[in-house]
Structure 1
Amino acid sequence: MAHIQLPEFEDMSPEIQKRAQPILEKTGQLGDIFKLLALDEKIYFATDGMIQKYLLDETTLSYDTKESIALLISLENGCKMCVDVHKGIAKMLGMSEDRIEEVLHGVDAMNVPESEKALLNFCIKASGKENYKILKSEIDALKAYGYSDLQILEAVSITGYFNYINTLSNVFGLGES
């Protein structure tokens, strides 16, 4: 049970209801994070824009890499709700069950190139309290693996997005029975 009162569909603004209707029709329910964000249109639409642009649109990183970041950062932040939600989204975006299980066991358990492990470990470090200690040499190491400035920016943006969503979920007790 969330720590604050979450709105039901009929209590949401008409603009948010318009966005929620297809989700309701497809899944039969709205998740707690959707309801929490629906408390304020500005927060909802700003957050929705990030999820659309970072995760659902085609970008310089593959869906597989983006969902791996989502799962790893959510695990790192102890956000069970986000891990559960992104297991489903990862499947929807084409990630195999085996790959999802690898990710859930951590970067070292993943059967991916060293370059991808380096990017994922960098994202975990970037998600922490001591991210201000990241050095230019660490970014240069990712570039040496072939990552562009844009890909590194995108990976860190997704990392920051999940710190944000995980914080909302954890603070407000979302997804807890």
Structure 2
Amino acid sequence: MAHIDLPEFEQMSPAIQGKARPILEKTGKLGEIFKLLAIDEKVYFATDVMIQKYLLDETSLSYDIKESIALLISVENGCKMCVDVHKSIAKMLGLTEQRIEEVLKGVDAISTTKEEKALLNFCIKASKKDNYKILKEEITALKEMGYSDVQVIEAVAITGYFNYINTLSNVFALGE
């Protein structure tokens, strides 16, 4: 049970109800993270922009890589709710059950290129408290593997997003 009272649809602002209505019509329920964010319109809409721009819009990284980052960082942060949600999202975006299971076992278990493994390992390192220890040489190595500045920034932004959303979920005991 969440450590905070989560609003039901009727308690949300009209602007957030407008965002919630299509979700309710499609799935019949609102997730706890949606309800938590709905407590504060500013937090909700700032987060919604991040979701749209980082995860749902087509970007320089494939949906496969973005969802792999989502799953890996959520596993690293011990966010069971986010792992469960992103397993479902990954399936909807076309990731195979095998790929999802590989990702959940960690980067070394993923059947992919050494370049993708390097990017995913970099994201895990970027998610840690000591990420200030990342060296320019590590970013240069990714670029030498073919990743652009935009792709590296996007990967780190997605990593940061999941640290943020995992923190909200974990602190307020969502999905328990």
TM-score normalised over the length of structure 1: 0.99
* Paired letter, 2:106: G
Describe how 1:108-123 pairs up with structure 2 within 5 A.
108-123=108-123
Structure 1 residue 172 displacement after superposition: 0.2
Structure 1 residue 109 displacement after superposition: 0.2
Match for residue 4 of structure 1?
4
Q: Deviations over 1:7-34 (max 9, x none)?
A: 0000000000000001001111000000
Identity %: 80
Match for residue 92 of structure 1?
92
**Which runs of 5 or more residues in structure 1 are unaligned?**
none
Consecutive aligned runs of 4 or more in structure 1 exceeding 3 Å deviation: none
Match for residue 46 of structure 2?
46
**Which runs of 5 or more residues in structure 2 are unaligned?**
none
Match for residue 30 of structure 1?
30
Cα distance between partner residues in 2 of 1:102 and 1:26:
29
* Paired letter, 2:19: R
Cα distance between partner residues in 2 of 1:53 and 1:91:
20
Describe how 1:1-177 pairs up with structure 2 within 5 A.
1-176=1-176
Cα distance between partner residues in 2 of 1:92 and 1:25:
17
* Paired letter, 1:93: L
Root-mean-square deviation (Å): 0.3
Structure 1 residue 147 displacement after superposition: 0.1
Cα distance between partner residues in 1 of 2:12 and 2:30:
12
Cα distance between partner residues in 1 of 2:97 and 2:18:
32
Cα distance between partner residues in 1 of 2:27 and 2:74:
22
TM-score normalised over the length of structure 2: 1.00
Cα distance between partner residues in 2 of 1:94 and 1:41:
32
Cα distance between partner residues in 1 of 2:119 and 2:4:
36
